[in-house]
């Protein structure tokens, strides 16, 4: 066996095909892991149609499974292929399992969805469990309001997997900001698997330089970012209406639409911005770090990765969180505001331009996140590195008596056995 064959391997699964959040989080973790260990390779499984647009460090690669997109009614359909969703999911599940069989990871990290999209990773979990491979579920700091998350996980039959398959549950945040599992009656054995890592710090490129889009601006600018942009129309429209209403706002603005904003909507915004002084626009930037580092402040919807960037670059921020279809951004923004990390402007359906103009004027006078002293706030990546190193140092455990299906069909997990609910103030090891 060659040295390459003996190299340590981590497999990361990300279910999402739309948006930037899951992909950005997985890429950040993968790049940090190989940066800390020269003997480690990381492979990312993703359905993102834009994963190839990103740069990865040496020894990080990806396998793209066929993409899917969620329709307005909540159902999924194939993103590009002219085949039914069931056949698409069968292909995805088979590719995921085959990749795991060939790659033979020493650790699997599953992002957000314990069983994958429509259960597509369940067979792979059983296969790797049978081989003795450690399995980890990684969760962002906020999932959704408990009243919705609890029945969703019950419907997906998640608890047996948390209890019987996963070794640990990493929460990429801190309990003083939010417990994403609050309101879910978890057995003690599952609660003991929970580890809060802290948020995932983002770094600037080695030689970032001044972004070309801001060259020539004669005044400080505010960065406006709706993340992936698929649901960012309200934020961008409100900001543009503020500048149209008040030409005396003393700050320029750089608006990054995001790769998933509809082209016709994006073009309409671009034309409006072109009629305003000091407004620059971009469709997409794989790394917002340089733009954010130079900004006087940030206006955003407050997704997980944008929040991490705001903390990392210590930026004054105004968050306009969405409230549909999930309250994730709203919950995060309110918790962060209570910790004095940023300010929040709730979307009230009227979107008064004067209200936004006032908020833009006040933004650069706010405090910065580092004014709030929160130990371990941005320790996520080193802590994840330590957790990974711990698992990789251990020999593979003895296989359990569990048979993975040979045909790759996802088989429902057994119903959970009765357990004792744990009070919600109980915490796992941090």
- pLDDT tens-digit profile of 362-385? 999 999 999 999 999 999 999 999
**Strand, coil or helix: what is 216?**
coil
Q: In terms of DSSP bridges, do strands 76-78 and 68-70 run parallel, antiparallel, or are they unpaired?
A: antiparallel
Question: CATH 3.40.50.2000 in the chain, residues?
Answer: 3-201+378-393, 212-371
Q: What does the alpha-carbon distance between residue 285 and residue 270 come to, in Å, rounded to a whole number?
A: 16
Closest CA to 202 of 319, 31, 368, 329: 31
Residues of the chain with pLDDT under 70: 1-6, 17-19, 71-76, 206-209, 397-430
Contact (Cβ atoms closer than 8 angstroms) between residue 378 and residue 197? no
Quick one: 417 exposed, middle or buried, by C-beta within 10 A (0-12, 13-18, 19+)? Answer: exposed
CA distances in angstroms from 178 to 170, 171, 288, 349, listed in the order given: 14, 10, 25, 27
Closest CA to 388 of 149, 92, 35, 24: 35
pTM over 0.85: yes
Contact (Cβ atoms closer than 8 angstroms) between residue 221 and residue 273? no
Here the tokens at position 175 are 């309990």
Residue-level pLDDT at 409: 40
Contacts of 78 (CB under 8 A, 6+ apart): 66, 67, 68, 69, 84, 85, 88
Range 212-371 has CATH code 3.40.50.2000: yes
Closest CA to 189 of 384, 425, 418, 430: 418
Taking the alpha carbons of 388, 389, 391, 396 in that order, is the dihedral positive or negative?
positive
Q: What does the alpha-carbon distance between residue 229 and residue 241 come to, in Å, rounded to a whole number?
A: 18
Closest CA to 66 of 41, 53, 84: 84
CB atoms closer than 10 angstroms to residue 36: 15
Residue-level pLDDT at 137: 98
Return the exposure string of 171-187: e unless at least 16 CB atoms fall within 10 Å of the residue's CB, then b.
bbbbbebbbbbeebebb
Contact (Cβ atoms closer than 8 angstroms) between residue 132 and residue 398? yes
CATH superfamily membership of 3-201+378-393: Glycogen Phosphorylase B; (3.40.50.2000)
Residue-level pLDDT at 415: 39
């Amino acid at each position: 066996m060659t040295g390459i064959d003996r190299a340590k391997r981590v497999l990361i699964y990300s279910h999402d095909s739309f948006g930037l959040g899951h992909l950005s989080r997985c890429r950040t973790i993968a790049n940090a892991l190989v940066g800390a260990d020269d003997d480690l390779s990381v492979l990312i499984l993703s359905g993102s149609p834009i994963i190839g647009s990103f740069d990865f460090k040496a020894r990080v690669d990806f396998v793209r499974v066929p993409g899917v997109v969620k329709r307005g009614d909540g159902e999924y359909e194939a993103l590009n292929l002219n085949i039914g969703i069931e056949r698409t999911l069968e292909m995805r599940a088979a590719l995921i399992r085959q990749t795991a069989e060939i790659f033979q990871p020493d650790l699997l990290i599953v992002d957000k969805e314990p069983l994958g999209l429509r259960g597509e990773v369940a067979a792979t979990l059983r296969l790797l469990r049978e081989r003795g491979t450690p399995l980890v579920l990684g969760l962002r700091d906020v999932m959704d309001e408990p009243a919705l998350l609890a029945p969703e996980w019950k419907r997906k039959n998640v608890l047996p997997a948390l209890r019987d398959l996963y070794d640990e549950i990493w929460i990429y945040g801190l309990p003083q900001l939010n417990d994403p599992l609050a309101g879910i009656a978890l057995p003690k054995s599952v609660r003991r698997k929970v580890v809060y890592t802290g948020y995932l710090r983002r770094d600037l490129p080695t030689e970032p330089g001044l972004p070309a889009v801001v060259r020539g601006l004669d005044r400080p600018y505010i960065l406006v970012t709706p993340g992936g942009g698929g649901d960012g129309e309200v934020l961008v429209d409100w900001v543009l209406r503020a500048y149209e209403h008040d030409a005396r706002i003393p700050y320029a603005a750089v608006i990054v639409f995001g790769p998933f904003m509809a082209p016709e909507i994006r073009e309409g915004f671009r034309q409006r911005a072109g009629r305003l002084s000091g407004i620059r626009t971009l469709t997409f930037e794989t790394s917002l770090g340089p733009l954010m580092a130079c900004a006087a402040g940030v206006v955003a919807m407050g997704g997980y990765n944008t929040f991490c960037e705001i903390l990392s670059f210590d930026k004054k921020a105004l968050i306009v969180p969405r409230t549909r279809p999930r309250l994730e951004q709203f919950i995060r923004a309110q918790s962060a505001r209570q910790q004095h990390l940023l300010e929040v402007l709730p979307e009230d359906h009227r979107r008064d331009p004067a209200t936004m103009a006032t908020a833009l004027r006040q933004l650069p006078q706010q405090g910065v996140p580092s004014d709030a002293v929160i130990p371990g706030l941005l320790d996520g990546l080193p802590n994840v590195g330590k957790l990974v190193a711990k698992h990789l140092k251990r020999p593979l455990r003895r296989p359990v008596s569990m048979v993975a299906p040979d045909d790759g069909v996802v088989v429902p997990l057994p119903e959970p056995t009765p357990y004792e609910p744990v009070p919600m103030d109980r915490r796992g090891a941090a």
